[in-house]
A and B are shown apart, each in its own frame.
Chain A
Amino acid sequence: MELKAGESILKYNSADQTVTMEGSMRLANLMEYDKVSVFLNDAATQASDRLTLDMTKLNFLNSSGITTLSMFILATKKKQNPKLNILGTALFAWQEKSLKNFNKLWNEVEISIQ
């Protein structure tokens, strides 16, 4: 399963239940991020107990994108399934600074920053 979103690509690998996000995701508004929400929700539906979001190759994510991911986390929290892992990297300041917010939305979100 694959989605092109602006200058980024999202791919879902069902074998390891991982969504990888690569490139730069700076879409104009929440409406443009709807397709990303749908993609993530589809991946969450397919994953059994745990879904990993690998952002280590996502150079940029704007605040609308962070809001979209945040709302996805809240929706998943409401269902309590799947649990979420987020992989990030300290190479990108936005990840080092902002990924921790996702754990504040739902304390079951495990965040690993390389």
Chain B
Amino acid sequence: MMQEIILGDYDLIPDTIPSEGELHLRVKPIDMVTYWRRCGAVANFIANFYRNPQDEIYHLNENLISTTFNELIENAAKYSTKRDSDIDISLKLYNTILKMEVENICSHKHMEAFQKSMEKIIDSDNDELDNFYLNKIEAKHAGDKDSGIGLLMLKKDYSLQLSAKITPIEGEVYRISVHAYYNMSIE
């Protein structure tokens, strides 16, 4: 059986470190795919949750947080095994750092595609990511049906620290957990 795979700095802030605030949600892929607007509704709710206009310590960018979670949740909804699986969504606050996590269950085929794409995204610098983005768009323009640019844009445009863990569960089914770290003290 395949071993667990770690991509990037997955335990940048390990779960053993107590957070100052947490929010956890669980949704079903079949529900999100059937009522697609729920992906955005969840993302908007999470972004709004920690909003505090009076706070001068950090600038929480709601639009950035909603955009990030929306991409992660849409990916999880699209590529999950639809029945008997969950999408787990977490946000943890550590001083000025937000740890955003989305976890889902997927097939071998989607796991392989995800691993290949994520490895390239994590290992690339900004210039390489720009070329990767341009090549992806050109390929899509030429009719390529391959996976999208969501994760690529989160790293390239938002400078989020991305990482992932792929865990084999049974047979040809895998758990994928994606982390995105956002430092609110940096504008």
Contacts and interface: CB of A to CB of B under 8 A. Distances in A.
Say whether A associates with B: yes
Interface of A: 6-7, 24, 26-30, 59-60, 62-64, 66-67, 70-71, 74-75, 91-94, 97-98, 101, 104-105
A60 B67 contact: yes
Contacts of A101: 133, 153, 157
B70 A59 contact: no
A84 to B, nearest CB: 15
Interface in B12-66: 33, 36-37, 39-40, 61, 63-64, 66
A91 to B, nearest CB: 8
Contacts, number: 76
A105 B137 contact: yes
Task: Report the contact-size class of chain B (Cβ under 8 Å from the partner).
Answer: 20 to 34
Contacts of A66: 149, 153
A90 B50 CA distance: 21
Contacts of B133: 101, 104
Contacts of A91: 63
B86 interface: no
B158 interface: yes
B130 A94 contact: no
Question: Top 5 nearest A-B pairs by Cβ distance?
Answer: A63-B150, A93-B64, A93-B63, A97-B157, A70-B137
Given A29-B78, A62-B40, A62-B74, 12 more contacts: A24-B40, A26-B39, A60-B67, A62-B70, A63-B71, A67-B137, A67-B148, A70-B140, A71-B141, A74-B138, A93-B64, A98-B157
A66 B120 CA distance: 20
B70 A60 contact: yes
B149 A63 contact: yes
B169 interface: no
